[in-house]
Structure 1
Amino acid sequence: MMKAWNTESEIHGAQESLLIMEGGAMRGLFTAGVLDAFMEEGLYFPCSMGISAGSMQGLCYLAHQRGRSLRMNTRFAKDPRYMGLRHLVKRGSYFNFHFIFGELSESIDPYDFVTAEKSKETLYIIMTDAFTGQPVYVSSRSCTMREFFKISEASCSIPLFSKPVPLKDGIYVDGGIGMPFVPLPEELPTCCRKPVYILTRDRDYRKKPVPAGFHALLSLLYGKDYPRVVEKMCAIPAIYNKKVEKLLSLEKEGRVFVIRPKKPVVVSRTEKNVEKLRSLHREGYEAGLACHEDLMRWLHEK
């Protein structure tokens, strides 16, 4: 059985370094490329944290399965079992997590549960409490990996694209709602001297305000049961843009290390163009290799 979790107690003690991975659905192929480069170089952070799609990339990193995310997403991008409007209409979710975390991970392209569960590293996944709108952190050490898959599903469940996910003590939605963009150092539930960020947008990207029609649709579908989710989602653009500026300032001061795409990302959340996915992964992989020396130097600076 899964242990109880809460924001403050899941992460114990100060962390020297922490790898934090942004979400972005299929844009997560950039993160996958960076992580594949890290694994090739034998670089494994003792502690990592993923939001939404970042949690799924983190799962492969935890299991030391280099190349698995690229294989999964390119092989099944056009497969209706993986994602599509048909599954959204029939099951209420654009992405078929039952297939992704079930047949795909159990038999088609098996997840290395043994390595993940015995790993010396720890992965934290951020999801959002649908009733309070607050972020909740869950550790890979707090439950079995198959239970942790369900946590990742909750973290990836974007309203309108997915149904809220019921877990043992509540109902949860995408981690990027309670924690837009990524947690800045002061938002982390632990002290961290060397936070490293993998982002899935270029440095000039900013979100536009939520259109009135989108706000109305959210209110219609979720306002009665999950008013905090509606409130939080409509506030995301302003919070996101403010946090981007703050992270840029921290980066200039040398207080954080950031890896991001150099140019605007043309891959959509639900991208099915395999060449675009491969190209984004390649960009991430090359970025991961290119920054390795600077990253190691920065991590070891006093």
Structure 2
Amino acid sequence: MQKDSGKTALVVEGGAMRGIFAAGVLDAFMEQSFLPFDMVIGVSAGSINAAAYLANQHGRNYKVFTDYSLRPEYISWKKFLRGGHLMDLDWSWDITGRELPINADSLFKKNIDFEIGITRNSDGSSKFIQASPENLSDVMKASCSVPLFYRNFLKVDGEIVADGGVSAPIPVERAIEKGATKVMVIRSRKSDYRMKNGNENKLSRFLFRKHPGLAKAIQKRPDTYNQTIELINHPPAGVEIIDICPADSFSTKRFSQDKEILDRDYKLGKEQGIEAIERW
């Protein structure tokens, strides 16, 4: 039971194309007019899903994942192998900003505390930015700028930054620090998933030698992720955490381009969104 003095929070994980699950969950929330949160925190693709939810733009991110993100201009291994972006955020931000913009007026009328996480390249630490109509687009883009797969490094408040999911993959700790005693977490991995060191992590010192803080954060990321799962499973006294994880049938991968799979996992998200409302 939530304490009267506590706050409620929604935390939305990223995961590139795996964000289709959260898009489904949050569309289900919108269909049920379910918005009981004092604060919302998103990182990477989770920030985009959170923004569309707060703006009450039902179906917006379903279209992003199943239309814009499937176009060859966005994900291209051919371009990547030739030295370009694997994920062309510049193209994506430009076209969706013109054709499918986030409704900032609707989002900020709700007066809900909305933070977006980014990673400082200087020391690899997390930084959480209070979203505003003026900074929303730029901060979301920075939070989604996956190192290596997006070749550019962006600046926020004069600092060079990268994907918020590097330093804080699931920012539950941030929600608790801000006084949340009841936290709903939308994840993009199955409940039994634990992160292991992959080649990207092992090579980070070389790949990001000009950004040693970022390299260190990438190397630490498996430990950071797994410690957060422990926090979710064993929250501190007085804190309740409701965890929404994709079911075992979830099969979308980081760079999935199969619309049939994306459609199926979006529907899975909607089903689990309805179940989550009942658990709240």
In the alignment, the residues of structure 2 paired with residue 91 and residue 61 of structure 1 have an alpha-carbon distance, to the nearest angstrom, of 35
Give, in angstroms, the shift of residue 248 of structure 1: 1.5
Bigger mean CA deviation after superposition, 113-122 or 69-78: 113-122
Task: Indicate the residue corresponding to 1:273 in structure 2.
Answer: 258
8 Å Cα contact 1:135/1:175 also seen in 2: yes
Residues 171/285 of structure 1: CA separation in 2 closer, same or farther (3 Å cut): same
In the alignment, the residues of structure 2 paired with residue 182 and residue 196 of structure 1 have an alpha-carbon distance, to the nearest angstrom, of 11
Task: Indicate the residue corresponding to 1:196 in structure 2.
Answer: 184
Gaps of 5+ in 1: 1-13, 296-302
User: SS of the counterpart of 1:256?
Assistant: strand
8 Å Cα contact 2:120/2:213 also seen in 1: no
Matches within 5 A, 1:101-140: 101-107=93-99, 109-140=100-131
Task: Indicate the residue corresponding to 1:208 in structure 2.
Answer: 196
Task: Indicate the residue corresponding to 1:165 in structure 2.
Answer: 154
Gaps of 5+ in 2: none
The yes-or-no answer on 1:258 pairing with 2:247 is no
Residues 252/265 of structure 1: CA separation in 2 closer, same or farther (3 Å cut): farther
Task: Indicate the residue corresponding to 2:142 in structure 1.
Answer: 154
8 Å Cα contact 2:119/2:166 also seen in 1: yes
In the alignment, the residues of structure 1 paired with residue 68 and residue 228 of structure 2 have an alpha-carbon distance, to the nearest angstrom, of 34
Residues 271/112 of structure 1: CA separation in 2 closer, same or farther (3 Å cut): same
In the alignment, the residues of structure 1 paired with residue 138 and residue 6 of structure 2 have an alpha-carbon distance, to the nearest angstrom, of 26
Q: Which amino acid aligns with 2:29?
A: F
8 Å Cα contact 2:167/2:221 also seen in 1: no
The yes-or-no answer on 1:293 pairing with 2:278 is yes
The yes-or-no answer on 1:95 pairing with 2:84 is no
8 Å Cα contact 2:188/2:246 also seen in 1: yes
Match of 1:83 among 75, 82, 103: 75
In the alignment, the residues of structure 2 paired with residue 59 and residue 92 of structure 1 have an alpha-carbon distance, to the nearest angstrom, of 28
Give, in angstroms, the shift of residue 164 of structure 1: 2.0
Q: Which amino acid aligns with 1:103?
A: I
How many residue pairs get aligned? The number is: 274
Task: Indicate the residue corresponding to 1:60 in structure 2.
Answer: 52
The yes-or-no answer on 1:221 pairing with 2:210 is no
In the alignment, the residues of structure 2 paired with residue 136 and residue 40 of structure 1 have an alpha-carbon distance, to the nearest angstrom, of 32
In the alignment, the residues of structure 1 paired with residue 38 and residue 83 of structure 2 have an alpha-carbon distance, to the nearest angstrom, of 37
Percent of residue pairs bearing the same amino acid type: 27
Give, in angstroms, the shift of residue 262 of structure 1: 2.0
Q: Which amino acid aligns with 1:217?
A: L
The yes-or-no answer on 1:74 pairing with 2:66 is yes
8 Å Cα contact 2:244/2:272 also seen in 1: yes
In the alignment, the residues of structure 2 paired with residue 253 and residue 193 of structure 1 have an alpha-carbon distance, to the nearest angstrom, of 6
In the alignment, the residues of structure 2 paired with residue 239 and residue 265 of structure 1 have an alpha-carbon distance, to the nearest angstrom, of 23
Structure 1 segments of 4+ aligned residues over 6 angstroms from their partners:
251-254
In the alignment, the residues of structure 2 paired with residue 92 and residue 189 of structure 1 have an alpha-carbon distance, to the nearest angstrom, of 39
Give, in angstroms, the shift of residue 252 of structure 1: 11
TM-score under structure 1 length normalisation: 0.82
Give, in angstroms, the shift of residue 148 of structure 1: 1.4
Residues 68/152 of structure 1: CA separation in 2 closer, same or farther (3 Å cut): same
The yes-or-no answer on 1:40 pairing with 2:40 is no
Residues 253/206 of structure 1: CA separation in 2 closer, same or farther (3 Å cut): farther
Cα RMSD over matched residues?
Answer: 2.4
